[in-house]
Amino acid sequence: MADINPFESLKEQIDDAAAYVDADADVIDRLKHPERVLSTTLSVDMDDGSVERFDAYRVQFNGDRGPYKGGIRYHPNVTEDEVRALAGWMTYKCAVVDIPYGGAKGGIAFDPREYSASELERITRAFAVELRPLIGVDRDIPAPDVNTGQREMNWIKDTYETLERTTEPGVVTGKAPSSGGSAGRVEATGRSTMLTAREAFDYLGRGIEGATVAVQGYGNAGSVAAELLDEAGATVVAVSDSRGGIQAADGLDTEAVTAHKRETGVVGGFPGADRELSNEELLAADVDLLVPAALENAVDADVARDVRADVVVEAANGPLTPDADDVLTDHDVYVFPDILANAGGVTVSYFEWVQNRQRFSWTEERVNDELERIVTEAFDRLVDAYESYDVPNIRTAAYVLALERVIDAFDDAGNWP
């Protein structure tokens, strides 16, 4: 995995698009930097009586289009710059799918697998206390990301509500349904990945049925994307997680792989596979569609030179370095970017927030129908932009579209004070 600062990658992506946007350099410069950064230290009691220190961050990148919105990541590699990049990507993602949010992100630098459930609860609640002055249903709304989920969101909601002496379920999204979560939220990121892939293959005149697929990262986003692609008629021939991958030439039974991963914690050892393979082999697999669904920088220029897929649909945030993008553009590989493909997560978070504010729940069918409408409309708008702007690739078109929308909101509101 390439050791590239994702915040530098974000700035490069914005610069690439800025050449096609009618805006002054100072306006673009503003859009490359966050509005606010919380960098804090959590001191938390451990089960053995010791006190441990954790570095935690919340970045509010841009609020021109609405309240700040973005997930919270628990991972040992979390840094302030990584969170800045992820917060920027959230800003432009919300703009691409045209939902009324700005962008934010949070993270704590630690490995949650090394802590007990009660320690994780204390760490999460300590972070929620630090977040309290910044977040709010109309200010900044956290959500899950890598290694966080319904449980952590419920703790944040409960801490906030207790301190504020109110009930405000819309202060976080991605909650359990019993705490105000939405139907369809857990599957939403994988669902928008599948929808983007389906639309991409239609756009390219091929159809997703029978397309062979490799998925890197069999977590929340990747496993659901794999299952839904399988259901849509594609053949998922290889999947992996951080411990390695598996392959089956005739296709993996993705539901059974998910059950195996749930039971054993890894995809390796799945009885229906022909063979095990490394992550390097997976990324170079001879497939029609590659879905990177793990972490940033999975594909650098060297890895990109070995990619044999015709289409890449990014379920992860920032899985390709800018150099990898250049290589894939040169090789005529179509890359459908993260800020469209994985936008299902934030879109259904938006539906959850709307439901919380109305105190009225939608059916899963309604959630999925509205998500499909938003993703397919955004896809159509994006390929129109790609064809009309004379840009080198679809990512650049997505940033042009997103920058224009954020700049419009800024221009309409004016700069104050």
Looking at the annotation, which residues are catalytic? 105
Q: Which two tokens stand for residue 330?
A: 């040169």
Map residues 274-313 to x or -, x wherever contact with ligand NAD holds by CB under 6 A: -----x-------------xxx------------------
Q: Taking contact as CB under 6 A, which single stretch among the options 108-116, 150-158, 210-218, 391-399 is the one that binds ligand NAD?
A: 210-218
Please identify, using beta-carbon distances, which residue of 9 and 317 lies nearer to ligand NAD.
Answer: 317
CA pair distance 343, 189, nearest whole angstrom = 6
The least CB distance from residue 215 to ligand NAD, in Å, is: 9
Beta partners for residue 6, in sequence order: none
Does 173 interact with ligand NAD (rule: CB under 6 A)? Answer: no
Residue (of 101, 119, 1) closest to 50 by Cα position: 119
The least CB distance from residue 27 to ligand NAD, in Å, is: 27
Q: Figure out which of the listed residues 182, 189, 356, 368 binds ligand NAD, where binding follows CB under 6 A.
A: 189
- Alpha helices (H) in 265-317, listed in sequence order: 279-283, 301-306
Name which of residues 95 to 154 contact ligand NAD (CB under 6 A): 144-147
Alpha-carbon torsion 201, 204, 205, 211, what sign? negative
Q: Which two tokens stand for residue 118?
A: 């009660």
Does 315 interact with ligand NAD (rule: CB under 6 A)? Answer: yes
Does 240 interact with ligand NAD (rule: CB under 6 A)? Answer: yes
CB 74, CB 107: distance < 8 Å: yes
∠ CA 271-275-280, rounded to 5°: 130
Does 317 interact with ligand NAD (rule: CB under 6 A)? Answer: yes
Q: Which residues contact 166 (CB under 8 A, 6 or more apart)?
A: none
In angstroms, what is the C-alpha Rg of the chain? 20
Q: Figure out which of the listed residues 41, 118, 167, 242 binds ligand NAD, where binding follows CB under 6 A.
A: 242
Please identify, using beta-carbon distances, which residue of 44 and 295 lies nearer to ligand NAD.
Answer: 295
Q: Taking contact as CB under 6 A, which single stretch among the options 47-55, 159-167, 238-246, 322-330 is the one that binds ligand NAD?
A: 238-246
Strand locations in 7-63, DSSP E? 36-45, 51-62
Report CA dihedral (221, 223, 226, 227) to the nearest 10 degrees: -120
Does 321 interact with ligand NAD (rule: CB under 6 A)? Answer: no
Please identify, using beta-carbon distances, which residue of 220 and 355 lies nearer to ligand NAD.
Answer: 220
- Range 391-394 contact pairs with CB under 8 angstroms and sequence separation of 24 or more: 391/17, 391/20, 392/329, 393/325, 393/328, 393/329, 393/335, 394/334, 394/335, 394/336, 394/337
Q: Figure out which of the listed residues 216, 247, 297, 356 binds ligand NAD, where binding follows CB under 6 A.
A: 216
Please identify, using beta-carbon distances, which residue of 28 and 315 lies nearer to ligand NAD.
Answer: 315
Does 219 interact with ligand NAD (rule: CB under 6 A)? Answer: yes
Please identify, using beta-carbon distances, which residue of 56 and 316 lies nearer to ligand NAD.
Answer: 316
Give the CB-nearest residue to ligand NAD: 219
Q: Figure out which of the listed residues 102, 106, 169, 217 binds ligand NAD, where binding follows CB under 6 A.
A: 217
Q: Phi and psi of 317, rounded to 5°?
A: -90, 125
Name which of residues 325 to 384 contact ligand NAD (CB under 6 A): 342, 345
- As separate numbers, helices (DSSP H) first and strands (DSSP E) second, the chain gives 15, 12
Q: Tell me how many residues contact ligand NAD (CB under 6 A).
A: 25
Please identify, using beta-carbon distances, which residue of 346 and 397 lies nearer to ligand NAD.
Answer: 346
CA pair distance 90, 4, nearest whole angstrom = 19
State the residues that interact with ligand NAD by CB under 6 A: 1, 144-147, 189, 216-222, 240-242, 279, 293-295, 315-317, 342, 345
